[in-house]
Structure 1
């Protein structure tokens, strides 16, 4: 908890929502991969497609709950059933976007075992699917969640509100309160009108 509190203190407020989203994405990914590995090596060893479908559905449901209750808990604006439907639609589109780089690598650039070595194809597939595709899908999800699934800011962050109030108070404060008077220096007093009269 100390590490999380330290990161929260130093991370600007506007990036905390993104950081939470990335944590949820990582958690869902681990659940997806872990559950798929468990099912495909036990009760569904002969039905790996079914195992993957179950793991994806469970991970997506977990992702919705964590994003709803944690990442975007200050956003909303839709009824829950409408919100959940849009969430799953967005994730379906994101899954398609995730597959685009892999398809481009395989079918447009022709990086497959017919043209390249197995090692080259493995590296290309990993980069296109797990690096570029994942980044593309996550960027779309974050934008779409804020745009369509959780479109309205319901409860502004307290730190943002406090900063805005302080800035507004500074603007509305009288000039005399914002610029304190400087004491008159003795060497300057000699040149002021009437300053030399006291000597005579």
Structure 2
């Protein structure tokens, strides 16, 4: 059921992208990976948000950085599945295990980048000393899902395209081309 929902969502989004009006079609096609990456990012941000607030409003109220890292790791796993199967599916050249390793290393760095603003706010500015739970929720949201997310998203898009999902990697060495004159003379001498 879960897999079919994901496939249905991907098919719907693909259909919307295919039906983009002509004036925007060139722009959409030029930046299709970025658009898909943003859609995956939005989806995983909601997933991350639900886990983070579920934890920080219950069992990890005094440990928001731990909650952020846990929710970030869960979101990264979902992100890998969606990005490898949809956003960057037309890129290749790496074996799946190598691609996954690079994705998770890059995304792990992204989780740390995303957690940095809330870590700084809590450990250097004593944010948790605020009495209002509403204020904490709003500040956590701004630090995590606006500041931290923008920082990690920019880093991950650049790094994933560069290392985890690069353009097709050629594994065969480039063959030297034989000049036409040499090829003709070698075949002529072989005939003699």
**Fold shared by both chains (TM-score > 0.5):** yes
The correspondence for 2:97, drawn from 81, 104, 110, is 81
Q: Is the 8 A contact 1:99 1:133 kept in 2?
A: yes
RMSD over aligned CA atoms reads: 3.7
Shift in Å, 1:76? 2.1
The structure-2 alpha-carbon separation of the partners of 1:58 and 1:120, relative to structure 1 and needing over 3 Å to count, comes to: closer
3-state SS of the aligned residue for 1:75?
A: coil
2:137 pairs with 1:126: no
Larger radius of gyration: 1
Aligned-partner Cα distance in 2 for 1:54–1:102: 14
Pairwise mapping of residues 1-200 of structure 1 onto structure 2 (< 5 A)?
1=12, 3-7=16-20, 10-11=24-25, 12=27, 13-33=29-49, 59-108=75-124, 110=125, 112-114=127-129, 118=132, 120-153=135-168
Aligned-partner Cα distance in 2 for 1:148–1:140: 12
Aligned-partner Cα distance in 1 for 2:52–2:135: 26
Aligned-partner Cα distance in 2 for 1:21–1:89: 18
Structure 1: 5+ residue stretches without partners: 155-200
Aligned-partner Cα distance in 1 for 2:121–2:158: 25
Instruction: Pick the structure with more helix per residue.
Output: 2
The structure-2 alpha-carbon separation of the partners of 1:92 and 1:137, relative to structure 1 and needing over 3 Å to count, comes to: same
Taking structure 2 as the reference length, the TM-score comes to 0.59
Aligned pair count reads 147
The structure-2 alpha-carbon separation of the partners of 1:136 and 1:123, relative to structure 1 and needing over 3 Å to count, comes to: same
Shift in Å, 1:125? 2.7
Match of 1:197 in 2: none
Aligned-partner Cα distance in 1 for 2:73–2:59: 19
Q: Deviations over 1:139-198 (max 9, x none)?
A: 1111110111012247xxxxxxxxxxxxxxxxxxxxxxxxxxxxxxxxxxxxxxxxxxxx
Aligned-partner Cα distance in 2 for 1:81–1:61: 14
Aligned-partner Cα distance in 1 for 2:115–2:42: 18
